[in-house]
Amino acid sequence: MLTKLSHRQLRFVGALRAGLSGKAAAVTAGYSPRTAAQAASRLAKSEHIRAVLAAPESHDEFVACADSDEARAARIRMCWLDSLCERAKSGDVRAMLSYFAEWRRSKRRRRRTTRP
């Protein structure tokens, strides 16, 4: 279902889920402030948008709502770690080892950036 939505439409859905009004969500998604109210009304009537809003939030929407490439990369990494964690909980030993190794790497990165 998500393949039928454009990047701006995904951002619109993410902004609505974040609690913004229709017009504010349209502006956040990149629609013109002058026509944001009309765009929000049109988007809210779309069958595809309604279906996505009715379904639980997916990783694609979560990633599409990022404001910059850096934030998008961080969100992709977070989704990857989530999936590793879920696989580790179900008993996958390789996923558990990968999750711990990545956690150690990120801890080292944080330590390097906080020291003067």
State the residue for tokens 């439409």: 9
Residues 81 and 56 in one domain: no
- Report d(CA 94, CA 28) in Å as an integer: 40
Residues 57 and 35 in one domain: yes
Helix, strand and coil in the chain, % to nearest 5: 80, 0, 20
Give the chain's domain count.
2
Q: Considering only CA atoms, which of 113, 85, 115, 111 is closest in space to residue 98?
A: 85
Residues 46 and 87 in one domain: no
Query: Is 108 exposed, middle or buried (CB count within 10 Å of its CB: 0-12, 13-18, 19+)?
Result: exposed
pLDDT along the chain (116 residues), means of 10: 73 82 90 94 90 72 67 70 77 79 68 54
Residues 81 and 106 in one domain: yes
Residues 11 and 29 in one domain: yes
Q: Considering only CA atoms, which of 35, 70, 50 is closest in space to residue 4?
A: 50
pTM over the 0.85 mark: no
Give the domain range for residue 24: 2-64
pLDDT of residue 61: 62
pLDDT of residue 89: 79
